[in-house]
């Protein structure tokens, strides 16, 4: 891995390089995606089935688009029983964590005759997009579905592309069943996102779309936002390790590569105050890369977006980490909890040498659907709140309103909204 000194120039160059990975930079695909959305919106199932035949080489009809109970039962027979038990334990951890995020509706009555409050209601229908083929990740099924279940969403549907044989990845089906998905449909790509956003004869319209996908899926979610809520327009995966001289270079290298193997656009960055650690990590990375199955992807990822930055002080390192606002951040310092208090921007923080990033991907419980490309400055991980609507409640008695009606009328008149003022005034004529 390249080792560079951390300063304003190198940090600025790094930030510009990382921004090239944003889905906002793929404008050349937008017309294709918009055309697909328009056709599905206008023609419904007809367009959906045509695109499935074109892109997935599979003939889907209204009769076979929905996954049957028999297909789910068959999937259980194709998935290793030990893996099924691991998924169940992971689901328990995810559910337990997300239950802590629940909020109740609240109402505050006052003696002056007012009642103010907030009513919390889950969305009616939530839709999950799940990639197919080699990019099928059962862990993402659990992470997308279980917060919605905890929130109390009454109907959860899932779309995922079929293979040419009309089959869906069995691991995906088992994970969906464990998580409690209500309906599964064989549809992928931008056309599946459009189907969930606007509805077709076979696929219901949803209120929220979550889940990862390729650039066409990401751009389709972006284009449909406003007609439907989405989790985010996710970019490529990334990890930032913040370390001092106490860190184990072998652990650091292994953790950096855990994200570099995702794809050529993934980013792996180490920021350290130790030149010695930087050199050792670089050597360990070279050694691991030779042994790992996704060697070519890792090499390309590190060539494009892999960095080891050597900072003069830990404060400098922390400032840079906050500016980068990484999706995943590991803190491997002498006192990681103290360091963590200074971190303002990160999707998820992993503290100490036994809290490696894959723990969060699969098992610990916090959501692994995280803000990318610096958006941790203002976005949060997927959570229960994403599936809840908050409605304000206002109730005033005549006595309560009589004490403030002149204030309201004055405010409205100053804004030139005389009908607003009159709405209050008529009650005291």
Asked if residues 109 and 394 have their Cβ atoms less than 8 Å apart, the reply is no
- Catalytic residue list contains 420: no
Q: Distance of CA 190 to CAs 127, 132, 246, 315, Å?
A: 14, 13, 47, 44
The whole-angstrom separation of Cα 17 and Cα 301 is 12
Provide the CB-side half-sphere exposure for 237 (13 A, CA).
23
- Tokens standing for 281? 């990590």
Q: Where are the beta strands (DSSP E) in 37-161?
A: 106-109, 114-122, 125-129, 155-160
Tokens of 213: 């996908």
- Identify the bridge partners of residue 225 per DSSP, sorted by sequence position: 228
Instruction: Tell me if residue 49 falls in helix, strand or coil.
Output: helix
Under DSSP, the state recorded for 329 is E
According to DSSP, residue 188 is labeled -
Which letter does DSSP use for residue 405 in this model? Answer: H
379/28 Cα distance (integer angstroms): 26
Which residue out of 98, 177, 262, 328 is catalytically annotated? 328
Q: At what angle do helices 138-151 and 170-179 cross, to 10 degrees?
A: 20
Taking the C-alpha atoms of residue 118 and residue 182, their distance in angstroms, rounded to an integer, is: 29
Q: How many CB atoms lie within 10 A of CB 411?
A: 13
Catalytic site residue 327? yes
User: 356 and 131 in contact (C-beta within 8 Å)?
Assistant: no
The SS3 of residue 245 is coil
Alpha-carbon distance of 46 to 285, in angstroms, equals 50
Which residues 6+ apart lie within 8 Å of 146 measured at CB? 91, 94, 95, 98, 179, 180
Catalytic residue among 238, 327, 330, 409: 327
- How far is residue 267's CA from residue 257's CA, in Å, rounded to a whole number? 9
Give the residue carrying structure tokens 């334990």.
89
Torsion of CA 49, 50, 53, 58, to 10 degrees: 20
What count of other Cβ atoms lies within 10 Å of the Cβ of residue 171?
20
The residues carrying an active-site annotation are 327-328
């Amino acid at each position: 891995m390249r080792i560079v000194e951390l300063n304003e120039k190198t940090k600025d160059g790094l930030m510009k390089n990382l921004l090239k990975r944003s889905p906002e930079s793929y404008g050349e695909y937008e017309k294709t995606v918009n055309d697909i959305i328009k056709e599905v919106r206008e023609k419904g199932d007809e367009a959906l089935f045509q695109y499935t035949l074109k892109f997935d080489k599979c003939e889907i009809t209204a009769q076979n688009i929905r996954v049957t109970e028999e297909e789910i039962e068959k999937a259980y027979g194709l998935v290793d029983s030990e893996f099924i038990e691991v998924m169940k334990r992971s689901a328990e951890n995810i559910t337990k964590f997300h239950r802590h995020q629940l909020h109740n509706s609240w109402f505050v009555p006052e003696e002056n005759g007012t009642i103010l409050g907030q009513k919390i209601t889950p969305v009616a229908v939530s839709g999950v997009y799940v990639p197919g083929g080699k990019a099928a990740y059962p862990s993402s099924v659990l992470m997308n579905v279980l917060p919605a279940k905890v929130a109390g969403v009454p109907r959860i549907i899932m779309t995922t592309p079929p293979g040419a044989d009309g089959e869906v990845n069995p691991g995906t089906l088992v994970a969906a069943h464990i998580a409690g998905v209500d309906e599964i449909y064989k549809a992928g790509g931008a056309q599946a996102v459009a189907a969930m956003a606007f509805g077709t004869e076979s696929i219901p319209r949803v209120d929220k779309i979550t889940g990862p996908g390729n650039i066409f899926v990401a751009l389709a979610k972006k284009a449909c936002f406003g007609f439907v809520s989405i989790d985010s327009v996710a970019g490529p995966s990334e990890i930032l390790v913040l370390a001092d001289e106490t860190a184990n270079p072998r652990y650091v290298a292994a953790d950096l590569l855990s994200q570099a193997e995702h794809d050529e656009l993934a980013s792996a960055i180490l920021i350290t105050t130790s030149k010695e650690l930087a050199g050792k990590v670089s050597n360990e990375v070279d050694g691991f890369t030779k042994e790992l199955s996704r060697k070519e992807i890792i090499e390309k990822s590190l060539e494009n977006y892999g960095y080891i930055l050597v900072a003069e002080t830990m404060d400098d390192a922390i400032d840079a980490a906050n500016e980068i606002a990484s999706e995943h951040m590991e803190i491997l310092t002498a006192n990681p909890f103290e360091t963590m208090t200074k971190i303002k921007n990160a999707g998820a923080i992993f503290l100490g040498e036994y809290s490696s990033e894959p723990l969060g991907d699969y098992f610990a419980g916090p959501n692994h659907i995280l803000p990318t490309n610096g958006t941790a400055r203002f976005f949060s991980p997927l959570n229960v709140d994403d599936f809840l609507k908050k409605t304000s409640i206002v109730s005033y008695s005549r006595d309560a309103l009589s004490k403030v009606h002149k204030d309201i009328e004055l405010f409205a008149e100053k804004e030139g909204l005389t009908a607003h003022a009159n709405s209050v005034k008529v009650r005291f004529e």
